[in-house]
Amino acid sequence: MQTNQIFLLFCGVLLALGLAAFFMARAKATRTRASGTAMYAQPDQYAWFSVLITAGPAVLVSAVGAFAMLLLGAEIPTLYLLASSLAIAAIGLLLGLKQVRPDFHARQAIERVIQGILAAAAMVSIITTLGILLSIVFEAVRFFQMQSFWEFITGTIWNPGASFLAAAGRGDEAGSAAQFGSVPLFVGTFIITLIAMMVAIPVGLFSAIYMAEFAPDRIRTLAKPVLEVLAGIPTVVYGFFAAITVAPIVVDIAGVLGLDASYSNALAPGLVMGIMIIPFISSLSDDVITAVPDSMRQGSLALGMTKAETIKSVVLPASLPGIISASLLAVSRALGETMIVVMAAGMRPNLTANPLEDMTTVTVRIVAALTGDQEFESAETLSAFALGLVLFVVTLALNMVSVIMIRRFREKYRSNNL
């Protein structure tokens, strides 16, 4: 018999056992109740409890078994595993039927099981974070066993070129040794992020001020969805826009000004990334500005301040923590943004501060390292995980600071809708 036939059979038998548990338990409970004994729970609840105790452990055992086979390579024949699960299901059925007693709290038992299942689901997010952390750290450590950590942090030359030869045991044949100095990548990432922020923060903040303080309701209800559309456009589309439309325009303008720009300059992805980030800043800042209590505005206007003065010296200082928090979130977005830079920025690590030259970013190198035809064990592939680790730590820190800032704001103004 083939594995999936056995599996189908297993499912069928389990289903039959479950149905049997349901109807037998219900019949027994109904009978007990009909004989005049008061019971703690309804017949259906006894029935569901029996189903849970029949199917639950059986499924759990087979899942654990499959896990062990897959992961630890344990040699458990599928047939035996599923047969033992069925045996456990049968025992569960008997136990469940035995529990149909007037003094058994079936409803509370179900409640406990369900709470357990829900809590297990909640653990998935923790496991995901741990999974990200472990997978990255584990591979990054392997990378740092091959390459020095200090050189990775301070080196200024990123040249993974010949590292695949080293992985193939021919390291000494290579003309130049692989070098993994990540400073040019960090500088490139930083400059592109800076350009993006120079577009996004002013435009986003002023849009938020307009929407929160000046705009009539009609424009406000119209403008919010428009900005949300900007946030909903896939990044690959922005990347295409940056590479095909914006980059040539930048080159043309630079040419008119007598400057020499590369077609994969850093300015184009930076500008487009800024456009992408506008809605993050505007919608978060808008929320924060509207959460500033009106009494503060009224007090300021009562003293004879104009609207602009009120905004500048009362509303904005009050909402500053929120605005900073929004900007930090935006920075973390920009650092981790991949598609725009992969499509529009350069591939060549280039240590420069001139945004018209091509430069590369951390995310571009991660993609380049993992889409090449390198062996997984090679230093270049593993370098992606080291870069990923840096990215993870930096974005995590930015998010943490951002959360703390927004919490401080919320506590100060007792605003619950943030």
Partner 1 sequence: MSQSFDEITAQLKRRHRKSARLKWMSMGALILAATFLVVFIGDMLVKGLPAFQQAQIQVEVSYTEQSMQIPPAAVSDEARSLVSRGYLRLIPGRMRDNPELMGTTRMEWVLADSEVDQYLKGHYTRLSESHKRAVDRLKEAGRAELKFNTRFFTSGDSKMPELAGIASAAVGTVLTLIVTMAVCFPIGVMTAVYLEEFAPDNRLTQIIEININNLAAVPSILFGLLGLAIYINFFGVPRSTPLVGGLTLALMTLPVIIIATRTALRSVPDTIRQAAFGVGCSRWQVVRDHVLPLSLPGIMTGSIIGLAQAMGETAPLIIIGMVAFIPDVSTSFSNAATVMPAQIFTWAGEPERAFTEKTAGGILVLLAVLISLNACAVWMRKKFERRW
Choose between 64 and 396: whose C-beta lies nearer to partner 1.
396
* Shortest distance, position 347 Cβ to partner 1, whole Å: 12
Task: Find the shortest distance in angstroms from Cβ 369 to partner 1.
Answer: 10
Nearer to partner 1, 385 or 409 (CB): 385
Paired tokens of 413: 């103004």
Q: Shortest approach of partner 1 to residue 63 CB, angstroms? A: 14
Nearer to partner 1, 169 or 232 (CB): 232
| Smaller CB separation from partner 1, 285 or 350 | 285
Question: Mapped to the 3 state alphabet, what secondary structure does 222-246 carry?
Answer: HHHHHHHHHHHCCHHHHHHHHHHHH
- Smallest distance, Å, CB 229 to partner 1? 6
Q: In angstroms, what is the minimal distance from the CB of 213 to partner 1?
A: 8
Cβ proximity to partner 1, 90 vs 186, nearer residue: 186
Q: Is 258 left (phi over 0), alpha (psi -120 to 50) or beta?
A: left
Three-state secondary structure of 241-310: HHHHHHHHHHHHHHHHCCCCCCCCECHHHHHHHHHHHHHHHHHHHHHHHHHCCHHHHHHHHHCCCCHHHH
Whichever of 8 and 127 has its CB closer to partner 1, that residue is 127
- Residue 113 CA from chain centroid, whole number: 29
Q: Give least dist CB 311 to partner 1, A.
A: 7
Task: Report d(CA 349, CA 347) in Å as an integer.
Answer: 6
Closest alpha carbon to 224 in 213, 234, 211, 209: 211
Q: Which is nearer to partner 1, 123 or 353 (CB)?
A: 123
Minimum CB separation from partner 1 for residue 231, in Å?
A: 10
Question: Phi, psi (5° rounding) for residue 354?
Answer: -90, 110
Distance CA 321, CA 340 (A): 29
State how far the Cα of 379 lies from the Cα of 186, in Å rounded to an integer: 19
Q: Give the whole-angstrom CA distance, residue 414 versus residue 400.
A: 20
